[in-house]
Each structure stands twice: as structure tokens, then as C-alpha cells.
Amino acid sequence: MESNQTRITEVILLGFQVDPALELFLFGLFLLFYSLALMGNGMILGLICLDARLHTPMYFFLSHLAIVDMSYASSTVPKMLANLVMHRNVISFAPCILQTFLYLAFAVTECMILVVMSYDRYVAICHPLQYTLIMSWRVCMVLAAICWIFSFLLALVHATLLLRLPFCGPQKINHFFCQIMSVFRLACANTRLNQVVLFAGSVCVLVGPLCLVLVSYSRILAAILRIQSGEGRRKAFSTCSSHLCVVGLFFGSAIVMYMAPKSSHSQEQRKILSLFYSLFNPMLNPLIYSLRNTEVKGALKRVLWKQRFR
């Protein structure tokens, strides 16, 4: 039978099925959010590069998070924006699989970076005297490399398992990008192995790291409560609260998306969830770090002051 099946070469992305008059509004809104995500993360990255006071392990990992967020959003949003205005929601099959691969790779990388950042905060607050020894630049480089390499290898596993499947239709994906679970529906073969590997990967990447983050922060909280000075407690808490907000937003939406039962959310709700952590999270992360972090705000003032008197 497989020899008589026509392998698809193009995929139609149905996107957001809304009134055509609303599409232009959505285009403007999403373009604004995407621009804010790029500018915000670009600002964070620029400040860390320009201000020597931010050349610490914490901001080293934050710079990686900014790179991931910009890449994360750029893997899906430009195509979505083009579809909203051009009304040609077609993507070739090879770029579709590439989009799936990149999206998964950057999503896993963000997850891993957030875990490493929580470990950095744990060492800084619970073992301050050993911090420079434990979080040496060599260790930071190795941790960052592990995050990127592991993430791309895991995404490669999913992409390889996808490519082994015969795809013969339907030709339409009810999503605004080639989200992996939507791509499964294009296959004309059993995708149980793919779904099992995806679920196992989700447990490995989401549940395990989230448990590590919660353990780290439970110890951090206990250490903060032991600090005698009120000012010391406030400073220690402020350095962790921003990261904790980002962790909650990312892991919460991702777990609901990939680990909730299929029947618990409609396809439209899944699109909104995907939009939340592919566009809104990258936009909110730099806002959270800049508005709640006195060191970032101080670095911004110093850079602007230098530019003013140059």
C-alpha cells in the first residue's frame, strides 16, 4: 500500500482561523510583541557585553537565555507574520521539519539554561564562600556547552524519528507553525513510538529539571530565612525572584502543553499556549529581569550616561 501513497511535498498551515479583518490587527500586535522580544533580549545581551560589572556567571547564563529567546521566537514568528498578511500559508516539507527541529532544540536549551541558572543562585546563596571556586569560568563554559549540545541532540532524535515516517496527508496542519504533535497527524503510519519518545523526553526535560529547580529554591529559601539582616534577605530574594518568575512561566505553560491529556485542551487552546511560550515568554523575560533587577537597571544607566557624554 505504501508504494501507492503520494508523499507530500508541501504543508498548509491553517494558523489562526479568524475573521480576515482581524488578521491585520493580529499581525500588528504580534509584530509589536516580536519586536519587543528582540529589542528586550538584545538590550540584555548588549548590557552584559558592555558592562564589566555584569561579567559574572549569573549574567553569563542570562546572556545565553537572551540568545535562546531571540532564536526561539525567530524559529516560528516570522513565518506566522508572513502568513497573516500574504494569505499563502504554504510551507515546503523540508523547512517544516527544520522548523520543528529548531523549535524543539531552542525550547530544550531554554529549559536547561533555566536549571543551570537556578543552580548558580543556589551556590551563590547557600555556599557564598566557595562560589568563585565552584562556578569558575571553565565550569560555566562546560555547563553552557552541555545545555546546547544535549538540546540539539535530543531535537535531532525527534527529527530523525519523524523523517522515518511516510507522510501522505492530510496536507493541512491546524497550527501556526510545524508543531511536532501536529506534524504527527500528517503521517500515514503508526506514530506511537514517536509519541512515547516525545512523552519520555518531556518527562526528562520538564519534570526532572523542574524538580531540581524546586529543590534548589527550597534550600535557597531556607538559607535566606537564616540571614539576620533584613537588607541582606531583601537583596538575596531580589536576585532569585526574577528567575523564579521566568521558571514558573516557562515550565507551567510547557507542562500543560506537552504533558496534559489530549482531550483536556482544544486545538485552539493549544495554539494559544504555543503562542504564549514561543512569543510572550521571550518578550516577558527581559522585562522581568530588567524591571526587577537593580544591577541590570544600574548597567543601563551607566551605558546611557557614557553615551550621553561621549
Q: Is residue 158 part of a domain?
A: yes
Q: What is the number of H-type helices and E-type strands within the chain?
A: 13, 3
**Cβ neighbours of residue 251 closer than 8 Å, sequence gap 6 or more:** 111, 114, 206, 209, 210, 213
**Does 148 have pLDDT greater than 60?**
yes
For 166, the domain range is 7-308
Tell me the per-residue pLDDT of 48-105, one tens digit each, with 9 for 90 and over.
888 888 889 988 999 999 999 999 899 999 988 888 888 778 888 889 999 999 999 9
Question: Of the ranges 15-24, 29-38, 236-245, which is most confident?
Answer: 29-38
> Pick the residue with more confidence: 297 or 28?
28
pLDDT tens figures, 180-210: 888 888 888 888 999 999 888 888 888 888 8
The 10s digit of each residue's pLDDT in 240-294 is 777 777 787 778 777 777 666 655 456 677 777 788 778 888 888 888 777 666 7
Give the global pTM: 0.86
Residue owning grid cell 504554504: 90
Distances in Å between the Cα of 85 and the Cα atoms of 25, 76, 78, 152, 273 are: 10, 15, 11, 32, 22
Residue 172 parent element (H or E):
strand 172-173
Task: Identify whether 96 is part of a domain.
Answer: yes
- Measured CA to CA, the distance from residue 223 to residue 121 in angstroms comes to 11
Say if 1 falls within a structural domain.
no
SS3 track for 100-116: HHHHHHHHHHHHHHHHH
Q: Which residues contact 123 (CB under 8 A, 6 or more apart)?
A: 130, 131, 134, 135
Q: Return the closest-CA partner of residue 209 out of 260, 146, 269.
A: 146
Closest CA to 241 of 221, 226, 211: 221
Cα separation, 14 vs 17, in Å, equals 7
Residue 191, number of CB atoms within 10 A of its CB: 18
Identify whether 246 is part of a domain.
Answer: yes
pLDDT exceeds cutoff 80 at 123 = yes
Q: How far apart are the first and last CA of the chain?
A: 72
3-state secondary structure of 125: helix
CA dist., res. 298 & res. 238, Å (int): 14
Q: What is the CATH number of the domain that holds 207?
A: 1.20.1070.10
Our measurement of the distance from residue 200's CA atom to the centroid of its chain's CA atoms, rounded to an integer in Å, reads 19
Calculate the CA 271 to chain-centre distance.
16
| Neighbouring C-beta atoms of residue 132, cutoff 10 Å | 13
The tally of domains found in the chain comes to 1
Q: Which H or E element spans position 124? A: helix 93-126
- Asked whether residue 13 is domain-assigned, the answer is yes
3-state secondary structure of 79: helix
Contact assessment for residue 121 and residue 220, using Cβ atoms and an 8 Å cutoff: yes
Placement of cell 482561523 in the chain: 17
C-alpha cell of 163? 523523517
**210 falls within a domain:** yes
pLDDT at 270: 74
Q: Which of 232 and 105 is assigned the larger pLDDT?
A: 105
Residue pair 48/54 in contact (Cβ under 8 Å)? The answer is: yes
Inside any domain, residue 2: no
The span from the CA of 289 to the CA of 296, in Å, is 7
